[in-house]
Amino acid sequence: MRVSRTLAERSGVRDAMVAMATGLNLDLLDRLGFTAPDKAGPNDLLVALRADDEPALADARQALDALLAEAARPAPGGLGAPPSPRTTGAAAARAPADLALISVPGPYAFAEAMDALSAGLNVMVFSDNVPVAQEIRLKEEAARRGLIVMGPDCGTAVVGGVGLGFANAVRPGPVGIIGAAGTGSQQLMCLLDTAGVGVSQVLGVGGRDLSAQVSGRSTLQALAALDADPATELIVVVSKPPAPRVAELIRAAARRLDTPVVFALLGPGQDDLTAAAGRVLAALGRPEPRWPRWPAAPPPEARPGALRGLFAGGTLCNEAMLIASRALGEIRSNIPLRPEWAWPGGATGGHLMIDFGEDSLTRGRAHPMIDPALRLDRLAGETAGDDCGVVLLDVVLGYAADPDPAAALAPAIEAAVARGLGVVVSLCGTADDPQDRDRQAAALSGAGAAVFASNAEAARHAVALAGGTPEGAG
């Protein structure tokens, strides 16, 4: 991805793509107007370049060779240095640790995570596309050993003051977060940080942990761990809509703890994450601030048309759909609120929200918080069409995310606004994040987007532009 971006920024280069020939990347190649070799497969490297003229193309090919050679250069090692460990267990034996972070393709994550548990390590499984049966086996093994498995598909954690995955730069404080929702945890920790309240630990448990199948296995262990943590004065459990039976199981376990627990469980009739943050602040005796927002410059008037949400964060997408559906009715999606609202893919009429971080869209490619290509491609399609009136986007900052998301998004937003679309951005981050939240906000609002630190407020504003009056709008 970085090679592709570096090449695309060269003078005279119009399109550049360097990626493995997975199904998704072959589709993207086709949309760029290239034809892949018939036998290209997921173990093959695709290189596609389009330039203004032959000298620019030759220059790009020469730069490509240099970039690939640099990437393939082995790390330096001293004479007689021991070989690198080949397994997680071997690495743990060489440098004792408490936690292993597993980030390999989904089909290989189970073996690495089980190896880490066998070595006595707690495990964070960043990998997605891990079968649910393997998740259950890992969590049962962890419980047997008195350990915890965070994940699979655990994108965010803060352990011992160290951010892991897509963590934000937040201050230390009294709130411990258990997240069966990665961007939900990020939204909550960022809002609390904005209000001057920090976190003790953020333990991601994976988006399926509160499902009927997994039955809260890691959440129960995380509750016990935070209850025993002297730095944690209040626990918050964050989740996309949980299985009702599992939610009651977790509530019953929380009632047995000494530490108070606040629940932020998204679902029909439940609080949004911004309201949940307000309840956390109230429980701590802290006032709720006015959440930051950056108006579009100048404010656009959206043309008539449907609302389209293009999200990198599944929880933020889910929250926005819950808010929008109260005013607009049916919202099509690849993570639908109702089975009959499932989006079959491709073009569609009516309101639509897409989670570009969903497993089927990340198989064989980086998460959209890192690689924005698929979402930018869809935004260009919505801009060129005639049925979209408002676009709602999330931009999630943090240590592992795109170092400058506004650089690619701002020109695309300008093009959308020029075509008469209203653009609204939910900006999830803190003032201390490496991307500089306020600088990102200035670039996005300067391009014509209305920017909100609260995803719920962004969703309500987008609904209002689309002609609805969402519940709780003010």
Q: What is the pLDDT of residues 371-402, one digit of tens each?
A: 898 999 999 999 999 999 999 999 999 998 99
* Residue 81, pLDDT score: 66
- Reported confidence tier of residue 470, pLDDT bands at 50, 70, 90: low
Of 28 and 17, which is predicted with more confidence? 17
User: Which stretches within 119-180 are classed as H helix?
Assistant: 132-145
With respect to residue 16, please indicate whether it lies within any of the assigned structural domains.
yes
With respect to residue 30, please indicate whether it lies within any of the assigned structural domains.
yes
Q: Which range scores top for mean pLDDT: 27-41, 232-246, 300-314, 364-378? A: 232-246
* Residue 474, pLDDT score: 39
304 and 274 in a single domain? The answer is: no
- For residue 398, give Cα distances in angstroms to 156, 177, 181, 427, 436: 10, 17, 16, 11, 9
With respect to residue 265, please indicate whether it lies within any of the assigned structural domains.
yes
- Looking from the CA of 279 toward its CB, the CA atoms found within 13 Å total 17
- Is residue 84 predicted with pLDDT exceeding 70? yes
With respect to residue 85, please indicate whether it lies within any of the assigned structural domains.
no
Of 229 and 349, which is predicted with more confidence? 229
With respect to residue 260, please indicate whether it lies within any of the assigned structural domains.
yes
- Give CA–CA dist 17/371, Å, rounded: 12
109 and 14 in a single domain? The answer is: no
- Is residue 471 predicted with pLDDT exceeding 70? no
Average pLDDT, the chain: 92
* Residue 439, pLDDT score: 97
- For the chain, the domain total comes to 3
106 and 53 in a single domain? The answer is: no
At 282-299, the pLDDT tens digits run: 999 999 999 999 999 777
Total residues found in the chain within this entry: 474
Q: Which of 257, 283, 309 is the endpoint of a domain? A: 283
148 CB burial (10 A radius; 0-12, 13-18, 19+): buried
324 and 452 in a single domain? The answer is: yes
Of 179 and 43, which is predicted with more confidence? 179
Token pair 């190649």: residue:
29
- Give CA–CA dist 470/305, Å, rounded: 17
- Give CA–CA dist 25/270, Å, rounded: 38
At 124-137, the pLDDT tens digits run: 999 988 999 999 99
Give me the CATH number covering residue 328. Answer: 3.40.50.261
* Residue 101, pLDDT score: 95
At 421-462, the pLDDT tens digits run: 999 999 999 999 999 999 999 999 999 999 999 999 999 999
- Give CA–CA dist 355/318, Å, rounded: 9
Lowest mean pLDDT among 108-122, 359-373, 385-399: 359-373
With respect to residue 81, please indicate whether it lies within any of the assigned structural domains.
no
414 and 300 in a single domain? The answer is: yes
Q: Which of 252, 283, 314 is the endpoint of a domain? A: 283
- For residue 82, give Cα distances in angstroms to 59, 94, 216, 343: 40, 11, 42, 52
Q: In this prediction, what percent of the chain has a pLDDT beyond 90? A: 72
37 and 106 in a single domain? The answer is: no
302 and 443 in a single domain? The answer is: yes
> What pTM was estimated for this model as a whole?
0.86
- Reported confidence tier of residue 72, pLDDT bands at 50, 70, 90: low
126, 165 contact by CB (below 8 A): yes
Mean pLDDT value of segment 30-42: 84
142 and 48 in a single domain? The answer is: no
- Give CA–CA dist 110/97, Å, rounded: 19
- Give CA–CA dist 127/267, Å, rounded: 26
Q: Which of 218, 253, 283 is the endpoint of a domain? A: 283
272 and 190 in a single domain? The answer is: yes
With respect to residue 332, please indicate whether it lies within any of the assigned structural domains.
yes
389 and 265 in a single domain? The answer is: no
56 and 97 in a single domain? The answer is: no
What is the domain range of residue 9? 2-72
At 207-227, the pLDDT tens digits run: 999 999 999 999 999 999 999
- Give CA–CA dist 332/349, Å, rounded: 9
461 and 354 in a single domain? The answer is: yes
